[in-house]
Amino acid sequence: VLGLLVWSLIAATTYHLHAAYGWVMFVSLFFWILTLLFFVTYLLQLHEKFYMIPWPLVLMIYNAVATVLYITAFVTCAAAVQPTSWRQWDYNRRAAASFFACVTMITYGVSTFFSFRAWKGLGSNAATSQVTDHA
């Protein structure tokens, strides 16, 4: 949802007049589509059919790359916002897109942390940590 907000807010402006927003559009749209594909993969449990793929590692790498590229997109978007813009609605949408790019970047960063824990096997819950073998 956050990535959708970023690219839809940028797309609602005259972004084609500023080259910096092309990068922001690419990053936000690319990762929005890939995140949607991963979501559908897990929703339909297709990851269980492709058991030979190390999904925790794939998700960790994906989230780490998304975090790094969203950092560049956030900085680019925030630096390109011009408060003296002659179109007030473009300024508002670009400023909101910068905010949501920052929130999206933080979200991907948190997902990277949790996918790293899942990859390392540190994500045990209360039920699995209480089980002991008495046999």
Q: Which tens digit of pLDDT belongs to each residue from 45-99?
A: 888 888 888 888 999 999 999 999 999 999 998 888 877 666 666 777 888 888 9
Are 39 and 88 within one domain?
no
Nearest to 78 by CA among 21, 9, 17: 21
What's the predicted TM-score (pTM) here?
0.78
Predicted local confidence at residue 99, as pLDDT: 92
Q: Based on the fold, state whether residues 75 and 124 are members of the same structural domain.
A: yes
Task: Check whether residue 33 and residue 66 sit in a common domain.
Answer: no
pLDDT of residue 10: 86
Total domains in the chain come to 2
Q: How many CB atoms lie within 10 A of CB 33?
A: 12
Residue 67 burial (C-beta neighbours within 10 Å; 0-12, 13-18, 19+): buried
Q: What is the span of the domain harbouring residue 8? A: 1-52
Choose among 82, 113, 102, 107: nearest CA to 14: 82
Question: Is residue 120 predicted with pLDDT exceeding 70?
Answer: yes
pLDDT at 104: 94
CB atoms within 10 A of CB 15: 22
